[in-house]
Every structure is written in structure tokens, then in C-alpha cells.
Amino acid sequence: MQVTHPNIRSAFAIFESTFFSGVIPTWRDENGCIITYATEREAEIEIAEMLMEQLRQFLAGHRDFDDARTTGDFILSVKVWPDGTIVTEDGRRFGIQEI
């Protein structure tokens, strides 16, 4: 029988795949906490807004086109623990990162 903590909630987080660390959460707040989203759509909108900003930077001449139109970010479903730790569906655990 699997016991579930009553204060664990489902959410979505934005990740990237890195050469040295593998899959890691991409977006954190100013305290090092991983930013999570209540719905997958909210996370998708966050990525879309970032891409639109990158394209604006390209139009202003501050960014290369290939860099402006791409992102390595992707969204995963996670469980969020009361201390801010998140756990992916495959069991990878990520916590607050000291800044």
C-alpha cells in the first residue's frame, strides 16, 4: 500500500537537458525555489512568453535569429512537497538551490 502525504500537490515544472547534469529544472525564483505551475498550459505560456521576448531582442538587433527562435526547455509533471522539493514521475528529486 502506497501512503501519500496530504500536503503533496501535483504541478508542472520547466526543465532542460544539460550535458553534465542531465535533466534539471530550468526556472527558479530569487530564493532558489523551483517555479511550478498549476497547469501544463500555464507552463507552456511561460515558455511562449520567453520565446516572444527573445524574438523581440532579435528584432532589436540584440540576439542572433537562431538563438532567438529556439529553446531547450520542456515541461514535466511533478509532485511538490511542502518544503518546495519536487519529484518527477520517474523519481528524480530536486530541491531548493542556494544562490
Q: Is residue 48 part of a domain?
A: yes
Q: How far is CA 29 from the centre of its chain?
A: 11
For 52, the grid coordinates are: 516572444
Band (pLDDT 50/70/90 cuts) for residue 97 is: confident
**Which positions ≥6 away from 46 have C-beta within 8 Å?**
14, 27, 37
Look at the chain and report how many structural domains it folds into: 1
Handedness of CA 10, 15, 17, 20 (dihedral sign): negative
User: What pLDDT is attached to residue 99?
Assistant: 57
pTM of the model: 0.85
pLDDT, position 21: 87
DSSP character at residue 30: T
C-alpha cell belonging to residue 77: 509533471
Q: Is 3 part of a structural domain of the chain?
A: no
Q: C-alpha grid cell for residue 21?
A: 547534469
Asked if 85 and 95 count as a contact pair (C-beta separation under 8 A), the reply is: yes
Residue 68 DSSP SS3: helix
**76 found inside a domain:** yes
Tell me, yes or no, whether 39 lies in a domain.
yes
Query: Per-residue pLDDT tens for 22-69?
Result: 999 999 999 889 999 999 999 999 999 999 999 999 999 999 999 999
Domain assignment of residue 34, given as a range? 9-94
